[in-house]
Amino acid sequence: MTPFQWSLTLGAAAAAANVLGGLVILSRSHWNELLLKNFLALAAGFMLAATCLRMLPESFAISPHAPLMILAGYFLVHFFEHTLTPHFHFGEETHGDAMLHPAAGYSALLGLSIHTFFDGVSIASGFLISVPLGLLIFGAVVLHKLPEGFTVASIALASGRGQRGALGAACVLAAATLAGVLGMHALAPAVAYALPLSTGVTFYVAATDLMPEVNEERGWRMAVLVFVGVALFWLSEHALHQLGL
């Protein structure tokens, strides 16, 4: 497969996970919500390992501007998810009052769409450099895609957009992910900027969006799952190595 075929296939799988996450909240099953929380913890560990062990070193290797681009990626998410947006956090949106103003829901959707656009850019820039890098970044992205779709659908529900609006919001995130994949391949020479930028984005999502949600949970189970996520990254990297990739 060509890098483009890899990106398109796995980008579509990641986008589908957004829609699936949106469907979970519509199914209203407590068991599913717990499962999603576990994905969030696994994703945080896997993403932090992928960021520190693969994305940062590869970024420094391909661009002298990497430090600045990483910082820019980090603050890009901070700006769109938390500065421009009055209220946003991962997990179910339960306080309807914060979301009563429909504009708050739409700005959260915009912020998350920009973040998911970079989920797509991350996957595509990984495959433009190498298949194993692309696969590992895909792993980091796909693990948090279910909770992401769930989050955006719950925000749509809390701001009164109904079930159709909730599913629509999850589909917007899926489309933004695919747009990121296509955009990256259309501007493939920009990968030296795009990889460090999406490294900063991934770092933010893992450390600033996901970790606080993990730490909200009482008890040690969720906290331990973060380490399981790190181990999962290590195992994936080792397996790819064994496969000669």
Give me the amino acid identity at 86.
P
Nearer to Zn ion, 8 or 206 (CB): 206
Nearer to Zn ion, 58 or 209 (CB): 209
Judged by phi (left if over 0) then psi (alpha if -120 to 50, else beta), residue 200 lies in: alpha
Q: From CA 90, how far away is CA 92, in angstroms rounded?
A: 7
Element (H, E) at 236: helix 221-242
Number of residues that bind Zn ion (CB under 5 A): 4
CB of 70 to Zn ion, least distance (A): 17
CB of 115 to Zn ion, least distance (A): 5
Nearer to Zn ion, 81 or 119 (CB): 119
Contacts of the segment 56-64: beta carbons below 8 A, 24+ positions apart: 56/199, 58/129, 58/133, 58/195, 59/195, 59/196, 59/199, 62/129, 62/191, 62/192, 62/195, 62/196, 63/192, 63/193, 63/195, 63/196
Q: Is 213 in the site for Zn ion (CB under 5 A)?
A: no
CB of 144 to Zn ion, least distance (A): 5
Q: From CA 53, how far away is CA 165, in angstroms rounded?
A: 39
**Cβ-proximal residue to Zn ion, closest one:** 119
Mask 119-138, x = binds Zn ion (CB under 5 A)? Answer: x-------------------
Tokens of 65: 């501007």
Nearer to Zn ion, 33 or 65 (CB): 33
CB of 77 to Zn ion, least distance (A): 9
Give me the amino acid identity at 23.
L
Mask 25-44, x = binds Zn ion (CB under 5 A)? Answer: --------------------
CB of 76 to Zn ion, least distance (A): 13
Q: Which 80-119 residues touch Zn ion, going by CB under 5 A?
A: 93, 95, 119
